[in-house]
Amino acid sequence: MKSKKIVSLVLVAALVGSALVGFAAPRQKGMKISITLMAGPKRPNSWFQAELGKKLNAKFDFIMLPGWEEKNMKTNLLMQDKDKRPDVLWFNGMAKEYRQWVEAGLLVDVVPLLKKTKNKNMLKKFTPEILFASYENGKIYKIPTDIGGKGCCMSTFVRKDWLDKLGLKPPTTLEEFIDVARAFTKNDPDGNGKDDTYGFGGQNSGSVDWRFFSPVFYAFGYDPDQFGMYNGTVKIGATVPETRKALEVLRDMYKEGLIEPTVFTGNDIGQMVAKGRIGMFYSWQSFYEPDDTSYKALKANVPDAELLPLDPIKGPQGLSGDYPEPLGSWCYIVVTNHNKNLQGVVNVLDEMMTPEIKMLNEYGEHGKHYVMENGKPKRTIAEEEKNSLGLGSLGWICFGDLPVTRDAKLVKLEEDRARTANQMRMEERIIHFNLSVRENCPTWLKYVTEISDLKNEVFVGIITGQKQISEYDRFIEAYYNKFEGKQIEKEVTELYKKEKALFEEFKRFYDKELKVK
Ligand SMILES: [Ca+2]
């Protein structure tokens, strides 16, 4: 009897021992919260999961969503099963499913819960613009996340060292932009004696993306792929007469050989920048970061190479702009009816949205996983350890700026571009809808694929000299006749008016119910 007991004690000790080996982290206490996660290394039961629980006094169950292809299916399965339904769900897209969850009563209105949180971290961060897409009839069922952006992620860039070498100034007008592009193409700016550089280039990840042509299109006021206000009517940018003029400029530039041609066939812009093939381009602001892979590779090839961000190029009528990001979010979290302590869940979420937790998520524990040098965190662990610790798991969920000193040049670039992008938004030359275009504009929905295909075929054809500019007029004719363009404009303009009125209503609700005083 006695020996049997000893054996079982030994067994228990062995089990506890192995459990401790598996979970080097301390045991979790507090309320249980399950949450689905999409970002990060997708490691369940990680150090980070336990550490987060310790900090927020909660026992977390991280449910990792699979890749982009399967995430919706897994999400649907979890939501359908009342036992497996997570307390907090991360999602993006899924408009139809979201509607079904709301109607089936699976989601919780977080308005009264957010108002009762101790520090109101979320409410302090949410502007009416950020929250508007979540609002319906006095309720909020989805919480926008990943909202750290400053309003614009892109910029025009020029090779400053090439400008210096050829004795040129940074271009400000479209005329100067073309002159610089010409010099970069024809005057051997890299000094290798070979005709191997282009004035202007852009990215093509499998299809033509007109955003990369923004310096020319925006100089004429509009984005071919975005809605904008035109003489009191909301139109798609491809159909306004100014866009025809932009196409003529691009056609002439292409004919002169100033545009790097793989922008129409497929390429990797990072490689082109790194190899010094193009002298100007429109792309992500992250190219300007000293740690950027492409910039570093460029510097390794040409030590005095320098990328300079430019204010947007001004067109003949003085118009210019940068691409404004939509003000809402691309992803959300919802609180489901699964947990018995809903206020507790929202309290924990609210305490998750702090710079400290953001720092823990990105870098781990100070002194153990990173050190601070000149106000900047520096990892002291390898990439693989970062993953095995589960760092980054709360990506696209927790928000708040990292409490670190940022490069003044980068901060200025962000502010400058936010300003020039916001100008484009204020002048209503780019309109992002919060209400669903899909639900409100049936005619647009009916033809959008055909319109887009025809536009791409005609625009690429004209720029590359395969088609005459008169093909643009045929495109417009098709837009208004075959694709019922007038009806599209009517529906989209009505949507814009409806949205403006609803936003005013929401702002009154926000000021009364949600604004942190
Ligand atoms: Ca050359």
Q: How far is the CA of 74 from the centre of ligand 1 (A)?
A: 52
Q: Is 214 exposed, middle or buried (0-12, 13-18, 19+ CB in 10 A)?
A: buried
Q: How far is the CA of 206 from the centre of ligand 1 (A)?
A: 27
Q: How far is the CA of 288 from the centre of ligand 1 (A)?
A: 23
- 8 Å CB contact between 63 and 74: no
Q: How far is the CA of 249 from the centre of ligand 1 (A)?
A: 24
Cα 287 to Cα 397: distance, rounded to the nearest angstrom: 25
pLDDT for 286 equals: 92
DSSP states of 82-107 as a string?
Answer: TTT--SEEEE-S-HHHHHHHHHTT-B
Q: How far is the CA of 308 from the centre of ligand 1 (A)?
A: 20
Q: How far is the CA of 248 from the centre of ligand 1 (A)?
A: 27
In this prediction, residues 398-402 reach a mean pLDDT of 80
pLDDT at residue 27 is higher than 60: no
Q: Do domains 22-148+330-388 and 153-323+409-432 have the same CATH topology?
A: yes
- Residue (of 166, 164, 129) closest to 150 by Cα position: 129
Q: How far is the CA of 166 from the centre of ligand 1 (A)?
A: 12
In this prediction, residues 22-49 reach a mean pLDDT of 81
Q: How far is the CA of 190 from the centre of ligand 1 (A)?
A: 5
Measured CA angle at 379 (ends 375, 383), to 5 deg? 150
pLDDT for 345 equals: 98
Q: How far is the CA of 461 from the centre of ligand 1 (A)?
A: 28
State if pTM tops 0.85.
no
Q: How far is the CA of 134 from the centre of ligand 1 (A)?
A: 52
Q: How far is the CA of 186 from the centre of ligand 1 (A)?
A: 8
pLDDT at residue 41 is higher than 50: yes
Q: How far is the CA of 180 from the centre of ligand 1 (A)?
A: 15
The dihedrals phi and psi of 195, each to the nearest 5 degrees, come to -85, 80
pLDDT in tens, 189-229: 999 999 999 999 999 999 999 999 999 999 999 999 999 99
Average pLDDT, the chain: 93
pLDDT at residue 351 is higher than 90: yes
Domain segments of the chain: what residues?
A: 22-148+330-388, 153-323+409-432, 434-502
Q: How far is the CA of 197 from the centre of ligand 1 (A)?
A: 6
Q: How far is the CA of 281 from the centre of ligand 1 (A)?
A: 18
Question: Comparing 14-28, 409-423, 437-451, 482-496, which segment has the lowest mean pLDDT?
Answer: 14-28
Residues with C-beta atoms within 5 A of ion ligand 1 = 188, 190, 192, 194, 196
Q: How far is the CA of 373 from the centre of ligand 1 (A)?
A: 40
Q: How far is the CA of 200 from the centre of ligand 1 (A)?
A: 14
pLDDT band of 19, cuts 50, 70, 90: very low
Token code pair at residue 175 = 């005329």
Q: How far is the CA of 306 from the centre of ligand 1 (A)?
A: 17
Cα 465 to Cα 154: distance, rounded to the nearest angstrom: 29
User: Which CATH code fits 153-323+409-432?
Assistant: 3.40.190.10
Q: How far is the CA of 298 from the centre of ligand 1 (A)?
A: 15
Q: Collect all residues with Cβ–Cβ distance below 8 Å to 75 and sequence separation of at least 6.
A: 36, 65, 89, 91, 94, 97
pLDDT for 403 equals: 78
Q: How far is the CA of 285 from the centre of ligand 1 (A)?
A: 26
In this prediction, residues 230-255 reach a mean pLDDT of 98
Percent of the chain with pLDDT over 70: 94
Cα 388 to Cα 288: distance, rounded to the nearest angstrom: 30
Q: How far is the CA of 192 from the centre of ligand 1 (A)?
A: 5
Q: How far is the CA of 188 from the centre of ligand 1 (A)?
A: 4
Q: Is 367 exposed, middle or buried (0-12, 13-18, 19+ CB in 10 A)?
A: exposed
Q: How far is the CA of 302 from the centre of ligand 1 (A)?
A: 13
pLDDT in tens, 94-111: 999 999 999 999 999 999
Percent of the chain with pLDDT over 90: 87
In this prediction, residues 403-426 reach a mean pLDDT of 92
**98 to 71, 110, 284: CA distances (angstroms):** 14, 15, 31
pLDDT for 29 equals: 63
pLDDT for 20 equals: 43
Q: How far is the CA of 340 from the centre of ligand 1 (A)?
A: 68
Q: How far is the CA of 159 from the centre of ligand 1 (A)?
A: 14
- 8 Å CB contact between 107 and 334: yes
User: What SS3 class is residue 347?
Assistant: helix
Q: How far is the CA of 57 from the centre of ligand 1 (A)?
A: 61
Cα 357 to Cα 364: distance, rounded to the nearest angstrom: 9
pLDDT at residue 301 is higher than 60: yes
Q: How far is the CA of 184 from the centre of ligand 1 (A)?
A: 9
pLDDT band of 17, cuts 50, 70, 90: very low
Cα 205 to Cα 87: distance, rounded to the nearest angstrom: 37
pLDDT for 363 equals: 96
pLDDT band of 11, cuts 50, 70, 90: very low
Q: How far is the CA of 505 from the centre of ligand 1 (A)?
A: 59
Place of tokens 């002048």: 427
In this prediction, residues 344-363 reach a mean pLDDT of 96
In words, the CATH class of domain 22-148+330-388 is alpha beta
Q: How far is the CA of 344 from the centre of ligand 1 (A)?
A: 64
Q: How far is the CA of 237 from the centre of ligand 1 (A)?
A: 36
Q: Is 299 exposed, middle or buried (0-12, 13-18, 19+ CB in 10 A)?
A: middle
> What pairing do the DSSP bridges indicate for beta strands 307-310 and 331-335?
unpaired
Token code pair at residue 435 = 């209400």
Q: How far is the CA of 291 from the centre of ligand 1 (A)?
A: 26
pLDDT at residue 23 is higher than 70: no
Q: How far is the CA of 276 from the centre of ligand 1 (A)?
A: 9
3-class SS letters over 371-427: EEECCEEEECCCHHHHHHCCCCCCCCCCCCCCCCCCCHHHHHHHHHHHHHHHHHHHC
pLDDT for 170 equals: 98
Q: How far is the CA of 181 from the centre of ligand 1 (A)?
A: 14
pLDDT band of 258, cuts 50, 70, 90: very high
Q: How far is the CA of 49 from the centre of ligand 1 (A)?
A: 53
Q: How far is the CA of 198 from the centre of ligand 1 (A)?
A: 9
pLDDT band of 15, cuts 50, 70, 90: very low
pLDDT for 237 equals: 98
